[in-house]
């Protein structure tokens, strides 16, 4: 039995596009991209989904709380599920918030740090880094993500470079899906289906 752990944010959790900040709807288990990936891969694969809305790569969030920092609980989560055949990082969207003032290179380097930290623990065999699709600045989330559209430019190339330098495989989610225009950040149910199927193909290549 191969064990895959997905470490992500609200788009891994399954948060649906938000017409208003008060919206709190999410896809049911089975419809999230990680679930779709697991179903596509079939028997012999266990998929564990660790998605936290608002999770950053390695940054304490001064507004939403330091616990959103993806580096803080990483060791505990990985050691709770070891051995892990494949760890998938799907992070970077929340790093694009205006409050962090990061560029594409900073975000890519932050993901690379997570890769190094995970490899150093010795409980993960292989790592796949997924770059999220570009953020659009829309409606209620526009002010929070002000400037994110510009910060999205060049992110896939930077994330691929630093992922591969650190021994991880790379996949660009933006090559198959787009952020939903309702809020410019989250993904539609159809996008979850499309991404899950596409990542399953990539995972089959990685786990050969």
Q: Where are the domains of the chain?
A: 2-206
Quote the pTM value.
0.97
List beta partners, residue 170: 129
Whether 186 has a pLDDT exceeding 90, the answer reads yes
Whether 15 has a pLDDT exceeding 90, the answer reads yes
CA distance 199 to 4: 12
List beta partners, residue 169: 128
pLDDT value, residue 173: 98
- Percent residues over pLDDT 90 in the chain: 94
Confidence bin at 208 (pLDDT 50/70/90):
confident
Say which residues have a Cβ less than 8 Å from residue 98's Cβ, sequence separation at least 6.
143, 144, 145, 146, 147, 148
Largest CA distance in the chain: 45
* Topology given in CATH for the domain delimited by 2-206: Rossmann fold (3.40.50)
- Average pLDDT value for residue range 33-57: 97
- Average pLDDT value for residue range 73-84: 98
List beta partners, residue 128: 88, 169
Whether 19 has a pLDDT exceeding 90, the answer reads no
């Amino acid at each position: 039995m191969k064990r895959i752990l997905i470490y992500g944010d609200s788009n891994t959790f399954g948060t649906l596009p938000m017409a208003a900040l008060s919206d709190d709807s999410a896809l049911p288990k089975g419809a999230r991209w990680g679930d779709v990936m697991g179903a596509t891969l079939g028997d012999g694969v266990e998929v564990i989904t660790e998605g936290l809305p608002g999770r950053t790569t390695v940054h304490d969030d001064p507004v939403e709380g330091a616990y959103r920092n993806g580096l803080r609980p990483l060791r505990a989560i990985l050691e709770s599920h070891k051995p892990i055949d494949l760890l998938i990082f799907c992070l970077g969207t929340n790093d694009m918030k205006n409050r962090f003032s990061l560029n594409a290179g900073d975000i890519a380097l932050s993901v690379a740090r997570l890769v190094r930290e995970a490899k150093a623990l010795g409980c993960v065999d292989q790592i796949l880094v997924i770059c999220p699709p570009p953020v659009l600045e829309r409606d209620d989330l526009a002010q929070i993500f002000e400037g994110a559209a510009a910060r999205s430019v060049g992110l896939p190339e930077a994330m691929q470079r630093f992922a591969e330098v650190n021994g991880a495989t790379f996949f660009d989610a933006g090559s198959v899906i787009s952020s939903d225009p309702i809020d410019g950040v989250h993904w539609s149910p159809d996008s979850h289906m499309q991404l899950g199927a596409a990542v399953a193909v990539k995972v089959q290549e990685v786990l050969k």
